[in-house]
Amino acid sequence: MTDPRLDLAIADGVARLTIRRADKLNALDAEMVDALIPLCRRIERSDAFVVILTGEGGKSFSAGGDIAAWSSCSPEDFGRHWVRDGHAAFDALARLSQPVVAVLNGHCLGGGLELASCADLRIAETHVKIGQPEAGLGIIAGWSGTQRAVRRFGAQVVRRMALMGEVFDADEALRLGLVDQVVPTGEGAPAADRVIERLRKRSPRATELTKMMVNAAEGEERERVIEALAGTIAAASPDLAEGLAAFREKRPPRFPGRGE
């Protein structure tokens, strides 16, 4: 499944994922949400060591969920499909093995902040505003804006945005830990390039394992991380080769270290 409004380019070890829907403030509809999961799978299986996530134009990084798309859902479809499908797509992005760098080149509100929270590093241009206005529309943040956002930014910051409707400028967002770096307007892409060059000098495998362990410590995909790390160790063990050989030869295995 593909969607031309989600543009993925992979070259020289860098995956660049750009939302190209500037006329709708880079809002996501159901088709775009569905397309995000196979794009993440493509990134995961590529030779990319870093992912750069951004939106088209300079007005909005992403307005999150397209109001026209979700407001037409029945309550049942809203909960069963819109919210759950969005969670699945954003989980896929947050759990990529590669570091994800979000370049906030425009306002980051509602679901746009939920999307940015999937990244490991957020670079904000100085004109950006960040907030969670959903309660003002009579709805809640449904794509982990009260879950992943709390884990990554802290409950009190989320309370100020989600309960009180506070909107932060880039400098205040930096002070609160919502973003990691603030750069002048138009300088987000060069700042991301500097991060790419820094990561290019580091071990991709060690970086991947470190991200997995940090995610697990944070409560992000803990079960999968534990099993993936244990599975890697088991697959590298001579026990696996012996176990498979015994299976093929229809004999009891003779595992090393058993004194046999």
Predicted pLDDT of residue 86: 87
Question: To the nearest whole number, what is the mean pLDDT of the chain?
Answer: 91
3-state secondary structure (DSSP) of residue 183: strand
For the chain, the domains span: 6-200, 204-249
Tell me the catalytic residues: 114, 134
Predicted pLDDT of residue 46: 97
Element (H, E) at 210: helix 204-218
Local confidence band at 73 (pLDDT 50, 70, 90 cut-offs): low
Kindly state the percentage of the chain with pLDDT values over 70: 95
Window from 11-25, 62-76, 206-220 with minimum mean pLDDT: 62-76
User: What number is the average pLDDT over the span 208-229?
Assistant: 87
- Residue 249, pLDDT > 70, answer yes
DSSP state of 136: G
Strand boundaries in 115-238, DSSP class E: 121-125, 129-131, 167-169, 181-183
- Residue 80, pLDDT > 80, answer no
End-to-end CA separation in angstroms for the chain: 53
Q: Which of 102-111, 214-223, 235-244 has the highest mean pLDDT?
A: 102-111
- Residue 70, pLDDT > 70, answer no
Q: Which residue has the tokens 């919502």?
A: 178
- What would the pLDDT profile of 188-206 be if each residue is shown by its tens digit? 999 999 999 999 999 999 9
Window from 39-43, 174-178, 234-238 with minimum mean pLDDT: 234-238
Give CATH for domain 6-200.
3.90.226.10
Give me the helices (H) in 177-203, please.
188-200
Predicted pLDDT of residue 260: 55
Taking the whole predicted model, whether its pTM rises above 0.75 is answered as: yes
3-state secondary structure (DSSP) of residue 250: coil
Local confidence band at 163 (pLDDT 50, 70, 90 cut-offs): very high
